[in-house]
Amino acid sequence: MGLGLILGGAIGNLIDRGRLGYVVDFLDLYWRNHHWPTFNVADVGITVGVFLLLIDMVFPRRSPGMHPVLLQIGSLKVYSYGVFVAIGFLSALWVSGREIARQGLDREKFLDMGFWVVLSAIAGRGCSTSSSTGGNTRRRPGRSSACGTAGWSSTAGSSPRRRPASCTCGSTGCRFLPVADASSLGIILGLAFGRLGCTFAGCCFGNVHPPWAITFTDPACLAPLHVPLHPTQIYESAGSFAIFGFLYATRDRFKTPGMRFWTMLILYGAARSFFEIFRDDPRGFVGPFSESQVVSAALIAYAVVSILRARSKAANLAP
């Protein structure tokens, strides 16, 4: 039922997009002057479907454990990781596009830019897949197909993404920092959904921890089977959802261009560095630190320096 709701909602939105050129949203939830982004019945179906899949994942009725393959028809397989990554990309573009429009910027140009950013991210991550998944492939041959490119790291894709995004932004005439502020909501939401895909696929797994563990039993999973492990994928997904909630609730309080984007980098970098402590999947290290911790530290440093420079510039311009 959950998968059917997700596919039905996605197809419904695609029909609107193909027939009208845009998606019709008509449901508006609000409390006083605070409005949740308008949505439609298809969005409700996708959201409910995701929660039903999560419930089935945590409280399975039949076979315990996560299932990398959500649906199989003959030789055609629909992988959990791919579905959630697609949901993450679409959610990121949807939320960021609405924020772009709310700021009075050109939403269509942003969506065009988002298309090229997605392509550059896929290409950039594809180049880094061999190094990121090498340990998994050696450890459990043939299992990498369980989630397509399960070893992709969310931080690994950030560097290849930046230059194409900047070039495209320049060619469309948009301003980088306001676009980065709007995109920060979509980026962190996309990461939250992507980590749910990691949970089903069994990649990015944690070390042994019996009390509140997650146990993988599906042979297609990338994680060790029948061993209680830290649910690191759920940790990061929950942390990303929390960061998204904070940034969304305080989106009108960030007056300086770039401040919300830099805040997102600091919060996510700190959370990612902490959650890395509990991971046990094969990945690259720089001395005692994982590559993700090193990249997170660099992103935090960049954000802190940017904030200090912005505050110094604002102080110099003040009368």
Asked whether residue 129 carries a pLDDT value surpassing 50, the answer given is: no
Band of the pLDDT at 75, cuts 50, 70, 90? confident
pLDDT at residue number 89: 86
Where does the pLDDT of residue 147 fall: very low under 50, low under 70, confident under 90, or very high at 90 and above?
very low
Question: What are phi and psi for residue 240, nearest 5 degrees?
Answer: -65, -40
pLDDT of residue 249: 87
User: Which DSSP category does 276 fall into?
Assistant: G
**Stretch 283-312: mean pLDDT:** 92
CA dist., res. 290 & res. 277, Å (int) = 9
Q: What is the pLDDT of residue 227?
A: 87
Helix axes 259-275 and 176-201, enclosed angle (nearest 10): 20
Compute the C-alpha angle 77/92/52, nearest 5°: 50
Residues 116, 163: contact at Cβ < 8 Å? no
Residues making up the chain, counted from first to last: 319
Tell me the percentage of the chain whose pLDDT exceeds 90.
20
Which of the two residues, 34 and 241, has the higher pLDDT score? Answer: 241
CB 232 within 8 A of CB 279: yes
CB 271 within 8 A of CB 238: no
Which of these ranges, 11-15, 72-76, 177-181, 184-188, has the smallest mean pLDDT? 11-15
Share of the chain residues as helix, strand and coil, in percent rounded to the nearest 5: 65, 10, 30
Residue 220 has pLDDT above 60, yes or no: yes
Question: Which runs of consecutive H residues, i.e. helices, occur in 40-144?
Answer: 41-58, 80-102, 107-139
Is the model's pLDDT at 193 over the cut of 70? yes
Instruction: Evaluate if pTM is beyond 0.85.
Output: no
